[in-house]
Amino acid sequence: MRKLLLLSISLLMLLAPDEVTAQDPQFSQFYAAPLYLNPAFAGATQQSRVGLNYRNQWPAIEANYVTFSAYFDTFIESKNSGVGLLMMRDAVGGLNSTTVGLQYAYQLYITDWLTFRPGFQAAWFNRSLNFSDLTFGDQFDPATGDIITPTSEGFSNTSKSFLDLSAGGILYTKNVFLGVTLNHLNTPNQAFSESADPKELPRKMSVHGGVKIPFTPGTVGSGLYARPQERSLTPTFQYKTQGEFDQLDLGLYLTLEPMIIGAWYRGLPTKGVQGFSNNESIVLLLGFTKKGGQGDVLNIGYSYDYTISQLGSASGGAHELSLSYSWSNKDPRKPPKHVMQIPCPDF
């Protein structure tokens, strides 16, 4: 009951004009949510692609976060451009956020070995607070702890929608990549009440990159049907800052096609948060990739966040699933143009 009451009080604080704050949802498999990570990834596979992401954080407590994302993107070879559609739903208790974004990216060949992709997103963003999903202290029987009324009275549901703009860019070679994303460029007003003082959604900056270290490839099949299987190690990082909060993801991916194994650390121990050490979790990943003869690629990934913060393992950590499928959209009668795919991992 105490956790439910604390959650209710925290959500009520969001209605106070001087206390409206928010942070963006996150994915541990950030490269498996490419359009959310950076709009410059739209069309980056040089193919058409669909993907799904699901994250359930802290499932063992009532104040858990559930995030769902779906996306589609495709590459337009004649225009050296990629376009994408991103849809996301994030929920904690009765507080829900929904985003629908359109993306455009351009592929600029600087040299034969260096490529730059700038990208832009325009999104519709909605935040809503549903009081019927919340549990308040006055609903409980003090003797038994049972809920005696279905919902508290005197509150109406609240919703706020606004335009949200983001931009990003990726610079990459055959084995090295570096990207930057700036979200909420227009710092939209997220206050529920129009009569309240404006409360801007703070800008978020993400810097991400890595290096792919290739090994001698394996081989699947034989004779005319033989093809190489990737063997590589890819150290990666992502640094994010939004408002007063900073976070670092640091780890690596080992690709032994068709399997991918990943492990990384999330936190920033050099910077505490309100007197607490900023160590959040250790993340472990197991992925599967399947490449077809026509250029189609299927990726499936599961990761688990083991909580190392003071919240502890009793929170249930976080479970995350990713699924993507890409296929060729090129006219087989046309000769291929010079293309260079970003060497970042699929998870």
What's the CA gap between 157 and 162, in Å, rounded? 17
- Among 288, 273, 291, 283, smallest CA distance to 322 is for 288
pLDDT of residue 9: 36
What separation in angstroms does the CA of 41 have from each of 98, 119, 167, 194, 234?
21, 8, 11, 35, 18
Per DSSP, the residues of 278-297 read: -EEEEEEEEEEEEE-TTS-E
Q: Is residue 226 part of a domain?
A: yes
**Domains: count for the chain:** 1
Terminal alpha carbon distance of the chain: 38
Q: Is residue 58 part of a domain?
A: yes
Write down the pLDDT at residue 347: 74
Chain centroid, CA 289 distance in Å: 20
Query: Domain containing 288 — which CATH number?
Result: 2.40.160.40
pLDDT of residue 7: 41
Q: Is residue 86 part of a domain?
A: yes
pLDDT given for residue 280 in this prediction: 86
Host domain of residue 129: 2-327
In a domain, residue 343? The reply is no
> How far are the Cα atoms of 36, 168, 247, 302 from residue 243, in angstroms, in the given order?
19, 19, 11, 30
- In this structure, is residue 27 part of a structural domain? yes
* pLDDT the model gives residue 4: 41
pLDDT given for residue 272 in this prediction: 66
Bond before 336 cis per omega within 30 degrees:
no
What stretches in the chain show pLDDT beneath 70? 1-23, 62-63, 131-157, 195-196, 272-277, 311-313, 331-339
Task: Report yes or no on 165 lying in a domain.
Answer: yes
* Contact (Cβ atoms closer than 8 angstroms) between residue 27 and residue 55: yes
Cα 223 to Cα 219, 226, 258, 298, distances in angstroms? 11, 5, 20, 24
| Residue 337 covered by a domain | no
Element housing 2 (H / E): helix 2-13
What pTM did the predictor assign? 0.85
d(Cα 319, Cα 304) in Å, to the nearest integer? Answer: 5
The count of residues in the chain is 347
Does residue 277 lie within any of the structural domains? yes
